[in-house]
Structure 1
Amino acid sequence: MDDGQPEGRDRRSRARGPWLAEAGAGLVALALAVAVVARVAGTARSALLFSDGDSMLPVLVMRSIEVGQPQDWAMSSVLFLPELLVFGALWMLRLGGDGGSHIDATIVVNGVVNLVALYAVLRAAAGRRGRAVAPVAGAVTAFVAFAVLAALDHTASRDSLELASLMTTATYYSATVIAVILTLGLIRRIADQPSRRAGLLVALGLVAAAAVLSNPLFLLWATAPLAVLLIVVWMRRRERALLWATGILAGGSVAGYLGRLPLAPFIANDGLGYIDVGRMGASAAYYGRLVVDLAGSPGGAASLVVTTLLFATAVGGSIRLGSGSRAGARPGAFLVATAGWVLPLVVATAAIVLGTNAARYLQPVVFAPVAALVVLPDVLRMSRLPAAVPGSGRPWERRADRPRRIAAVVAGAAVVVASGAVGVPALAAATHRTDADLTCVTTWVDASGRTGGGQYWTVRLPKAHVADPRTLVQVDDTLRPYDWLVNRDDAAVGSISFLVTDDQSPPFTLPAGVTRDQATLVSCGRYTITDFGDMRLPLGAPRS
């Protein structure tokens, strides 16, 4: 028995060390997630959380289920299946009580969960202990970089290159971002331990299938570029595990796409409608303007600098890790580092060539270089100790690391304390904020006992907050039901008797014989209710 001896205590300390490091890093990630969501909720960017038309989708789904409405949804090419499952689970917790506070509390907690999940997959991409150098430090470093980028975002525009903060929302592809980084992590582990690959290959196929089933954009963000990258690395190393990974990634993606066929009635646009190669020049000009706009503010300029540095770090790490067969260089780390600059180039080029015009498609430009940062400890170890094997540090080297470990613990504790003291109260305040204009509309609609309508960017927020979401129908400017991210059953009412408008609403074309002079105008701040009383405005044929 040596439990009372220094050697026994040292062994127990070493056994507890990894678990303590993982738990501590997870706590720091949670604190940073709270701080980032609090920051987003405290700026104009909060519009994407609490009032954006797209972001209201999960709330509208939950409200529709609650009132017992038949579920006949018209989705885009993206089905948002993982996002809706997570949001639905949080919704059932009844966070924040009832009404608007419940909606906003669920939204902010969902944002925190998204960011914690992001840290988890970054940790997966950082590799296993013993095979990767300081994987916890690598994951935390990458997550801190992402948090910095998200904190720099500050505008209300959904069409800006402020891409990191989109991870705090439920409808701007957060699950797809997580799936891509998780795929990188699985590929890294398959490459680093080819003799124990069965479970990892199964997981890789399932992730690819689920990601494509929900969002076919995964094919561009991950399947195509990573398959090519795997084949290139296989040609150099001739390890069959890399070919298996390529085949499973492609096969899982095909299975996911085939799984969308039974869901076709819910898909209003299969994605092909977004492609127009004839607009290549206009697309390049559009994205160029977004870069100029981002550089026009101090925060945006700082974001561009950070993103450029991360991209350069990914390139440098890729070169260093692929420069030879010296100990410390592992194929998994090389794949992650290389993906950090290959994915942004592939996605940005494809976005222009395909004639797209949506900033959210370019999210790999931000998250791929961030993910590559997880291998920074591997790169630094190669630079300092060319002959060292990861995890084989001498006792005196471990002692030399103690000051850094102490500094890391102190810094982590400071982050947790600061988040608790500032971030948590800020989030609580955000969930209990008041919107007098919105309250005016919802109170009037609830009291009217009638059904009205409004256009996409205007009506979705009030629709999410009224007592019964069926009392507001989403229509276009010609009073045709607009079947886009909405339950088609809403239009079963056939006609409406009032319209909700704001500055974003194009003028309505009213039915023949009906004029605005016949209506009573109700002012609710930024909203106006045009009430036609007992008069019924028939709805036209639905469109998407």
Structure 2
Amino acid sequence: MRHGWLRELLGWLGAAAIAVIVTGQVASTDRVDLLLRDGDSLVVPMFVRSILEGQGWDWAMSTVLFLPESAMFALLRLALPLGIDALLLVNAIINVIALYGAVRLVAGRRAPGRAPVTWSLAAIAAFGVIAVSETGAARESAEIASLLLTTTYYSATVIAVIASIGIARRVCDRSGPRRGMLVALGIVAAVTTLSNPLYLVWATVPLGAILGFAALRANDRARMLALLWWIAGGTAVGLLGRIPFTAWIENSGLGYAKPQLWPESAAYYGELVFDRLSTPLGWVGAVVVTGLVVLAVHRTVRASTRGERLVAASAWVLPLLVVIGAIALGTNAARYLEPVVFAPLLALVADPKSLSRLSPAVARATAAIVAVLLLVGAGLSVPRVVSAATAPDADLACVVDWIDDSDQSGAGQFWTVRLPKLHLEDPSQLVQVDHQLNGYSWLVNRRDFDTTAVSFLIVDDQTLSWELSLGAMQVDVIECGRYAIYDLDPEEVPLGFPHS
């Protein structure tokens, strides 16, 4: 205990090394497109740039408001003189470190015979193994651990869910006053639900089921019901807090629920799992997750304290209920199943006992070897992160330079237009439209639709066939690698009414 602060510091440094290694590996595969160039992945940097540069607050968001993610990216942009790609990769590293912090909270307090720092690092290492086994560029796949590295795909919600379990565990283990921790749980639930109501499905419902079941035991009833009321109350406050943001929210989320399509949903997720298991790396990730789930069930049965039982049960109940719920609601988005890969990590910290069979000398030698491996791995990964952050994109530069020099307004479809739009000197020069040239009001600044006509179109292989009648209009094509610019100058084509 005398050197507890040093253990904690080394734990954070170890987590940072793992974060650099994971980010460097993922960024060196095709998955880098999802981190740096995907249309969805760019909403947070686009939103933050709009706010910091005074381009207006009239944004069209999805169900998710990305409030914690935007706050973090804004701090990074204000603090670091880096380009967009570098900031996104730094943010990815911070997300993994934050995951360690949440897992460390779950692991509980230090005490004789316990090694919460060691087992928290083991959990992050397990996450790293799963994440680096994901190498594809597809956003819709069962490769969902690496989504934590993005600023868009619910990283803050994942961390908040795990932190909620950690707070609940601390309440269960504590014998003294618990008011402060209960309030903290309510605040986490409220803020996270305000930003992303998916917290209701990932945390409030499954944790509510676990706490409600635990409350059947008379000696646990008061404590478990208090946790239940605070997490439910915080969630309710968060949902009510979304009312002032109604003008920003283009989809309340209710439209995603289509229970009548549950067979199609089951088939869809089954196909994603089948595709994942068609590669050796997919099997690596699946074996790790399956092993953790089995361990979680075992520790639930053998738990000796209420805190251990709560954490162990969460590690397998959350994935189970989330999968059942996703299918029952007829959803078809892999990102909704993220608890399947994150919750099982908690099996490693449910009962973080010291490895008593190791002699002190062997334990110190093992720790030293692990530290050297992490240090070397992080050192070798830094150049990979830097390379991904500074990799030239001649095609993007060609488009951006042409538009910056043109002093014209143009348009493009969602998956095509967002990357060039983010990198323009004036993002409003590119308007996001559908294939019929109607404004597409989705994850974008609505002030862009003040532009009523455009004089060029930008296309790539993600662009749907246009349904336009250009008549005898002269069109000059500027080739920019994977992009093409259809220059209609000096003619202009009117834009249709915006829709979401």
Query: How far does residue 487 in structure 1 lie from its aligned partner after superposition?
Result: 0.5
The match for 2:239 is 257
Identify the residue that residue 403 of structure 2 maps to in structure 1: 445
User: In structure 2, how many angstroms separate the alpha carbons of the residues matched to 1:501 and 1:44?
Assistant: 22
Equivalence for 2:329 = 354
Residue 341 (structure 2) aligned to one of 334, 359, 366: 366
Listed as ranges, the gaps of 5+ residues in structure 1 are 1-13, 97-101, 322-328, 382-396
Say if 2:409 and 2:455, in contact at 8 Å, map to a contact too: yes
**Displacement after TM superposition at 1:66 (Å):** 4.4
Question: Offset of 1:507 from its aligned partner?
Answer: 1.2
Offset of residue 516 of structure 1: 7.8
Q: How does 1:298-447 map to 2 (within 5 A)?
A: 298-321=280-303, 329-378=304-353, 400-420=359-379, 422-447=380-405
1:259 is displaced (CA, Å) by 0.2
Out of 206, 213, 234, the residue aligned to residue 225 of structure 1 is 206
Equivalent of 2:261 in 262, 279, 286: 279
Q: C-alpha displacement at 1:517, in angstroms?
A: 5.8
Q: Partner of 1:196 in structure 2?
A: 177
When structure 1 is superposed on structure 2, of 452-461 and 303-312 the one drifting more is 303-312
Equivalent residues of 1:95, 1:105 under 8 A apart: no
- Give the alignment's TM-score, normalised by structure 2: 0.97
Deviations along 1:366-391, whole A, 9 cap, x unmatched?
0000122212534x88xxxxxxxxxx
Q: In structure 1, what is the equivalent of residue 271 of structure 2?
A: 289
Q: Which range is displaced more, 404-413 or 162-171? A: 404-413
> 1:30 is matched with which residue: 16, 30, 42?
16
Instruction: Extract structure 1 runs of 4+ deviating beyond 3 A.
Output: none
CA-to-aligned-CA distance 1:286-340 (integer Å, 9 cap, x gap): 001000110111111211111111111111111111xxxxxxx211111011010
TM-score, normalised to structure 1, is 0.89
28, 36, 42: which is aligned to 1:50?
Answer: 36
The reply to whether residue 151 of structure 1 matches residue 132 of structure 2 is yes
Q: Which amino acid aligns with 1:331?
A: R
Q: Which letter maps to 2:286?
A: L
Aligned length in residues: 499
Aligned partner of 1:388 in structure 2 is none
Which whole-Å CA distance do the structure 1 matches of 2:298 and 2:360 have between them? 25
Kindly indicate whether the alpha-carbon contact (under 8 Å) linking 2:107 and 2:352 is maintained by their aligned counterparts in 1.
no
Name the structure 2 match of 1:326. none
Q: Does 1:540 align with 2:496?
A: yes
**Is residue 82 of structure 2 the alignment partner of residue 108 of structure 1?**
no
Unaligned ranges ≥5, structure 2: none
How far apart are the structure 2 equivalents of 1:453 and 1:132?
63
Superposition pairs of residues 89-128 of structure 1, within 5 angstroms? 89-96=75-82, 102-128=83-109
Partner in structure 2 of residue 76 of structure 1:
62
- Counterpart in the other structure of 1:164: 145
1:417 Cα offset (Å): 2.8
Candidates 405, 423, 428, aligned match of 1:465: 423
Residue aligned with 2:486, SS: strand
Moved more, 188-197 or 515-524: 515-524
2:7 matches 1:21: yes
Percent identical:
46
Alignment RMSD:
1.6
Assess, with a 3 A threshold, how the Cα gap between structure 1 residues 263 and 131 changes in structure 2: closer, same or farther.
Answer: farther
The Cα shift of 1:433 comes to: 0.5
Partner of 1:41: 27
SS state at 2:479 partner: strand
Look up the SS of the partner of 1:430 in the other structure. helix
Q: List per-residue Cα deviations over 1:98-126 (Å, max 9, x = no partner).
A: xxxx1011000000110100000100000
Matches of 1:399 and 1:505 in 2, distance apart? 59
Which of the residues 249, 252, 265 maps onto 1:270?
A: 252
Larger radius of gyration: 1
* Partner SS state of residue 485, structure 2: strand
What is the CA deviation profile of residues 67-112 of structure 1, one whole-angstrom value per residue up to 9, with x for unaligned ones? Answer: 421210000000010000001100112433xxxxx10110000001
The answer to whether the Cα contact below 8 Å between 2:473 and 2:491 also exists between their aligned partners in 1 is no
Classify 1:516/1:343 alpha carbon distance in 2 versus 1 (closer, same or farther; 3 Å).
farther
